[in-house]
Structure 1
Amino acid sequence: MPTLLHIDSSIWPVDSSVSRDVAASFRKEWESRHPDGTVIHRDLTADPVPHLDGPTYTAGADHALRGRLIRELEQADAVLIGAPMYNFTIPSTLKAWLDHVILMGRTTGVENSPVAGTPTVVVASRGGGYGPGTPRESFEFVTTYLAKALGPGSLDLDVHFIVPELTMAPVVPAMAGLIDLHEASMAKAHAEAVAKAGLLAARAA
């Protein structure tokens, strides 16, 4: 049966985390299509992986934890990643996970890598607006970084982004005029998550 690898990195619980909430819509739809499938869930806030150190780097996949994280990625039929924007980029816990699973000669830098082409959905939530043409477009280092770290030239995953934005509009008075845009962005993100889950679940059947 298909395996979904689900990575969460928000510091907040699902009831106050947009990335967790939208990812939950994806996972619910995936599990409805594959009730007997396997979901490997890594909550990098509840159970963070340590930052890469010298001995772990040198050991590569022979290191117990690093080897386990790599095998989880290798066995996945699809990957779901919650990646909220913190200070213009990804949480440090997610970067630590990436440092473990990106291994030259195993998951990158090798022909016919076992992870190449794996469909990957990233829920990249952000408090403001960073899209093309916005004043802060150049400050966006979540999708720009992850497209490189996960995509061609690195892990070669088949990466798709879902981007709910303006998430701070309901709680920041100065953003009150953007609440309608935020709500529309949320509705679109949930719809995209359900649709993408259905598509990828069908491909993995």
Structure 2
Amino acid sequence: MSKKVGRAIADYGMIEDGDKILVGVSGGKDSLTLLKILWDRRVFVPIHYDVLALHVDLGFTGTKQEAFRRYLETEGYPLEVRRQAVAGEGGREPLTCFWCSWNRRRVLFEEAKKNGCNKIALGHHKDDIVETILMNLLFEGEISAMAPKQEMFKGELHIIRPLAYVEEREISRFARLMEFPVCGCLCPQAGRTQRAVVKKIIADVQKTAPGVKSNIFRSLQRIKKEYLL
């Protein structure tokens, strides 16, 4: 899996010498995998970069959260924890995926600036990107995806997704092998989102078309403009 991460980093120029990377760590298998791979790769890649883990506590309770934080500290990862409650905060806003995501992203930007980080690494993988393409097509009426590398604030900051070539099943297997203390998704909306609907659609189609995920992933690199409206 590290080879796929390395290829994605090289293809999109995600990491450069001297970078300081803020890794968003939720406690799930994806972000824990991303953190370990980026941390371990520092030993053998021909460039130097620093890694800082950030956990954004959104106020959802769970008994495994403390265990995963202790794990990070025991493993020696530099860790920052930032509390940003969104669940029923003052009753001003309904709890939606957009509201939750926006608050988490805002905290990541603030912490990156405070800690002098020029890159934010997120644990989105190939399945996430494929699902986002279909979500935007079906629910937003647009053709777009999660970019493996995205420029923010006129180049002052970049969001990178080093797991862009890695499938979720590979991450699940790796997380079990590493015995990560995964705390899982604590969101009360889990399983009832647009993403959950699209995930099921892809799983159903994949039963008869095993290459469907790779085909969707490649589709935005093979646009035939002469056939567009």
**Given the two structures, how large is their TM-score scaled by the length of structure 2?**
0.35
Bigger-Rg structure (1/2): 2
TM-score if structure 1 supplies the norm length?
0.38
